Structure 1
Amino acid sequence: MDYFGHAAVVRERNRQHGGKPLWLLGSSRICSRFRDRLRIALGPQIACRVAQITVRELDGERCLKESTLQLRPKEQFTYERYRVGLNHQVFDRLLSSQNLWLFGPPSIGKTHLAHALVSSSKNAILVDDPTYNLLGLERFSLVVFDDVEQWIGERDVEAQFVGLYEQLVVSNGRIVVTSRIGVNETEFALADLESRMRLFSRYELQPLPSDERIELFCDLAADRGIEISQEVIDYLKTRIGRSQGDLLEALELLDHESIVEQRRITIPFIKQTLQL
C-alpha cells in the first residue's frame, strides 16, 4: 500500500472516531520512512501523530507499567489551557497575518502555543522534527516550526527553508517559528535566510510569576488524577526549582514513580523520589 493508500485508511479511522486525533505506531524504520510523506498525503484536515514505540524486553509488572506510560498522551495544548502570565500580547501576535519568531527559554510554553495555533487554524501543519522533508509544505497556508534551531546551521537545509519561504510569500502563506533565542543571536549558514528571518515579527515569552507556576503544577496534577494536599504544595513551593520546566519535570517523575510503586504522593515519598 502506498502513502495515499495508508492515508485513506487513516481518514476512515478518523471518521469512525469522530475526528479525534489518531496515533500511528510502528518501528523506528517504518516511522522514519512514512512520517513526513504520510502527513503530506493526509493533508491538514486529519489530526494524527506518528510515534516510534520501543518495548523493552524485560519481565515483570514494572516493565509493563513503564511501557504503558510511554503511550500516555501529554496534556492537551489549547489556548484556554495556556497560562498567559505576563505575555498579554502573545495571542495577538500568534493570530496576526505576519510571520512570527516566538522565543524564550525551555519549558516556557512555546510548544504549547505552537500546537494550539495549528489546532485552531485551517490548512496548517506543525513541523517538529529535523528529518521532515520540507518539500510539499508549500501546500499549507500556515507552517509552524517548533524549535527552529534544528533546521539552522546547514546550507542545504537552509536553502530548502528559503525556497519554502518564497513559495509561501507567493501564496500569501505564513511561517511561525519557535526558538530558545532571538533571531539576532541565531547563527545562520545562509545570509539569504538570515535576511528573511530578520523581517519576522518577534515576541519573547516571559516566565510565569511564582504563584501561577504553583497553580499550573496543581492543575496539571489534577488532570492526571493526582491528589496533592495543601501540605505537599507548601512543601514543594520552596524546594523545587523556580522554572516551569523544573515543576513539570518533578510532576512527571512523581506521577511515574507513584504509579510504579502504587503509593500516594506524600512528603516522605517526595523526599525519597526527588532526593530532597
Structure 2
Amino acid sequence: MKQLPLPIRLDQRATFAAFVAGENGMLVEALKEMLNPASKPEPQVYLWSGGPNGKSHLLQSLCQAASEAGTRAIYLPLGEMAESDFGILENLERYAIVCLDDVHRVCGLPEWAEALFHLINRLRQSGSRLAMSANGPPDALDSALPDLASRLSWGPVYRIQPLRDGDLVDFVVRRSRRQGVVIPRDVVEYLIRFTRRDVTEMIEWVDLLDREALARQRRVTRPFIRELVASSGGRRRQATRQGH
C-alpha cells in the first residue's frame, strides 16, 4: 500500500473571510457546505477560470476551514506534481475532503488521467467530498482519457467571475489591513489604474507596498504609488477599461 502524500503547506492568508466573492457567492456557499455533511452538500464541485481569479485561494480556504473543524482534508497542487508519480492520487479516499488544484495540468498525461478517473470513482463510493479547479470547463480540457470529462462534471461546474473594480478595491483594502499596511481606499482606486484587474497581481502589489513602505518608512500615498509604478518597468500598464 502506498504511503499517503504529505500535506502541502497552505497559505495561512487563504481563508473564506479573506475572499471577496463578488458575483461568486453561490460557488463560495457550495464549498462551505462541504464542511457540513449533515447539510447534504454536493459531493463534488468543479471551479474554473481562464485567469488567476482565486481558484487556489478558494481550495486552500476549504482545506483550512476543514482542518479547523477537525475534518481530515488535503490540498494537492497538481500543476506542481505533474512530474511526480501519479500514485500520489491513491488512498485519498481516506480524507473527508480532497482539493485538487490545476487538474488541467495532468489531464493530458495518460497515466495521470486514468488515476484521476479512478480517484473520482473511489471518492464517490467512499462518501468523501471533492473540489477541483482548472483553467477551463471539463469538456474543454485536453484529456488523454475521453471518459474523464464526464467524471469531472459529476457535480456542479462554476466559472469564477472576475471581480468588478469596486469589489477589487474592497479586496485590496481588506488584504492590506490584515498585513498591517494602511492603504486608503482612494489610493487603491488609483493603484488599479496601473495594474491588471486580477486578484493575483493585486496580492503581489500589496506585498510590494508592504515591503517598500516599511523599508522606506513611507506612508502609502498616490506619489508613493507613482514612484513604484515608474520603477517597476514591465509591471506598469495603462488603464484599458472595457467599455470606457
Q: How many residues align?
A: 211
Match of 2:20 in 1: 83
Shift of 1:78: 2.2
Question: Which of the residues 251, 258, 265 maps onto 2:206?
Answer: 251
Shift of the 241–170 alpha-carbon distance from structure 1 to 2, 3 Å rule, reads: closer
State whether residues 173 and 185 of structure 2, in contact with CA within 8 Å, keep that contact through their aligned partners in structure 1. Answer: no
State whether residues 18 and 174 of structure 2, in contact with CA within 8 Å, keep that contact through their aligned partners in structure 1. Answer: no
- Structure-2 separation of matches of 1:75 and 1:265: 24
- Structure-2 separation of matches of 1:49 and 1:233: 30
Question: Which of the residues 111, 114, 118 maps onto 1:156?
Answer: 111
Q: 1:97-246 residue pairs with structure 2 within 5 A?
A: 97-121=42-66, 122-128=71-77, 129-130=80-81, 131=84, 133-229=88-184, 232-246=187-201
Unaligned runs of 5+ in 2: 34-40, 231-235, 237-244
- RMSD between superposed Cα atoms in Å: 2.5
Determine helix, strand or coil for the equivalent of 1:226: coil
Unaligned runs of 5+ in 1: 5-35, 40-47, 51-73
Higher relative contact order (CA 8 A, sep 6+): 2
Shift of 1:75: 5.6
* TM-score scaled by length of structure 1: 0.67
Shift of 1:99: 1.3
2:9 matches 1:49: yes
* TM-score scaled by length of structure 2: 0.75
Shift of 1:238: 3.0
Q: Deviations over 1:228-252 (max 9, x none)?
A: 2455335324333333333223222
State whether residues 98 and 129 of structure 2, in contact with CA within 8 Å, keep that contact through their aligned partners in structure 1. Answer: yes
Larger Rg: 1
Give the fraction of aligned pairs with identical amino acids, expressed as a percent.
26
Q: Quick one: which amino acid aligns to residue 93 of structure 1?
A: A
